[in-house]
Amino acid sequence: MNYLKRSRLYLTHKKGQSLLMLLIMSAILVFVLSGIIIQNAAISATNNVTKSAGTTITVSADRDKQFSKMRSSSSTTKTLTTPTVANTKIKQAGNLSTVAYYNITNTASVNASSFDAVSTSTGTSSGGMGGGMQPGGTTASAGDISVSGVSSTAHTTTFTSNEAKLVSGRNITASDANTKNVVIEKELATDNSLKVGDSITVKTTATSAKSIKLKVVGIYKAKTSSTAMPGNDPSNTIYTSYTLPASISGTVGKSSAVTYTLENSAKEKTTTKQIKNIIDSSSFSVSSDDASYQQLLQPMKNVQSFAKKIVWLVAIAGTIILGLIIILSVRTRQREIGVLVSLGESKLHIVGQLFAEMLTILIGAMVVALLLGGFVGNKVGNQLLSQQQTTSVATTSSTNGAPSGAPSGNMPGGQTGGGMRGGAMMGQTSTSAANKKALKTLNTSITPSSVIKLGGMGLVIIALAVCISAVSILRLRPKDILSGE
């Protein structure tokens, strides 16, 4: 009788034993499939994270070098000069294939003329946060209004982290270059009865003050309307194109800082090196901020590693369990095997019969695994993701109290120093940005590749299990079995 036919008859005759083997094999394959689809989902999520994390590279003045130059100067009057870089070089670096977009930053300090600046209750003055130093120039008197010039307000850290939100009109964009359009804070607008479309006038802080007429194109709401520092109310910050502060400080065609946001966070090191080659780094600090990327990436790596361990542990345990069950089964079938061998049946055919029996059970177990594996994988994967993200956020938050290495005068994301900024605030901003982009659920689904991997793992498991039990079969001698020894 053909050994394949014998395997079919044995399975139908031993229904209880066959059902037990089916349940055991199904349980093994369900967890193997769950591990496979969780691992695939984590890999896919990791690839998405590298594209959506928004790793930034900031070029700003190296304050340590500037202070060193100032102290070593032979001049009796010690002044600190902020270096600038040509916009042509900034745009050249911005054209790199790895850069998604960039935000040029310039700052200036002016005085309110046709309107009143917002005064803080804790101070005696209403000085803006940008005063004290002009890009490309020497120390200047502080005005009560800070002009923050950017390429796009929508791409600044303040707006992307929801520290500020546009409530009326529109944002500053690249098309506003060489215009006098501004976006002002809601409190400043309310106190002076200003609305979108109105014009306001400011005066420069130089000895020969010049009046500049500005047009309000948008109004934003700052999350914090006052600060503990006198004269640093964030409502006195107006956003405009980076070209306006440059014209005020006499550095037309140049800028003091720029932030590049990458298409792919994995290209951070390569892009930083390319930017350093384009922009003279002797006076500038080129630093990257991939905190959000790392915070988003770590949970994915942990989930991927855990899923890989599930697959291997279940596969090894399954092989051992099935091997032991088959060995026990062979012991109960010794007389059957002895009769077959005495009739001239090859021992390899008997081993083949066991493999055929297990292969039939494997096919049924795969059907069960495909029905339940997706559900189990989805539940386990998302629970694991939630736990890993909670751990990652807690770990990151515990380190955010340390001051940031970025100079307070030029913050990453196109921001300038002031009451709303600082090392701790930057840490909180990075954390909140990462939390906003964090993946909430894993996209677990059964793909053709998952089915192929499952089938391959199943075949390996039953092959190893049968090989383990084959040792006892090959040792059997018909005479010993039939004689009852």
**Are residues 258 and 231 part of one domain?**
yes
pLDDT tens by residue, 204-221: 987 778 899 999 999 999
Query: What whole-number distance in Å separates Cα of residue 209 and Cα of residue 235?
Result: 23
Most confident stretch, 17-31, 71-85, 315-329, 336-350: 17-31
Contacts of residue 92, Cβ cutoff 8 Å, sequence gap at least 6: 278
Mean pLDDT of the chain: 75
| CA nearest to 175, candidates 154, 158, 160 | 154
Which residue segment(s) compose the domain that 111 sits in? Answer: 55-289
65-74, 304-313, 319-328: which range is least confident on average?
A: 65-74
Inter-residue contact 57 to 259 (CB < 8 Å): yes
pLDDT tens by residue, 430-480: 444 444 455 556 666 788 888 898 889 889 888 888 888 777 777 766 666
* Residue 409's pLDDT band (cuts 50, 70, 90): very low
| CA nearest to 239, candidates 61, 86, 105 | 105
pLDDT at 8 over 90: no
**Are residues 467 and 326 part of one domain?**
yes
**Are residues 230 and 155 part of one domain?**
yes
**Are residues 146 and 231 part of one domain?**
yes
**Are residues 88 and 43 part of one domain?**
no
Contacts of residue 429, Cβ cutoff 8 Å, sequence gap at least 6: 157, 161, 163, 413
Query: What whole-number distance in Å separates Cα of residue 123 and Cα of residue 234?
Result: 14
The CA radius of gyration of the chain, in Å to the nearest whole number, is 35
Contacts of 94-100 with C-beta under 8 Å, sequence gap 24+, read 94/258, 94/260, 96/260, 96/271, 96/274, 96/275, 97/263, 98/262, 98/263, 98/264, 98/267, 98/270, 98/271, 98/274, 99/260, 99/261, 99/262, 99/263, 99/271, 100/261, 100/262, 100/263
**Are residues 388 and 336 part of one domain?**
yes
The whole-model pTM stands at: 0.58
Residue whose tokens read 């007429």: 213
**Are residues 271 and 149 part of one domain?**
yes
**Are residues 30 and 87 part of one domain?**
no
**Are residues 252 and 213 part of one domain?**
yes
What pLDDT is attached to residue 126?
40
**Are residues 85 and 128 part of one domain?**
yes
Residue 181 domain-assigned? yes
**Are residues 112 and 155 part of one domain?**
yes
What pLDDT is attached to residue 30?
87
pLDDT tens by residue, 43-101: 776 666 666 556 788 887 766 666 666 566 555 555 556 778 888 998 998 899 888 88
Three-state SS string across 210-273, please? CEEEEEEEEEEEECCCCCCCCCCCHHHEEEEECHHHHHHHCCCCEECEEEEEECCHHHHHHHHH
pLDDT at 151 over 50: yes
pLDDT at 1 over 50: yes
What pLDDT is attached to residue 65?
63
Our count of domains for the chain comes to: 2
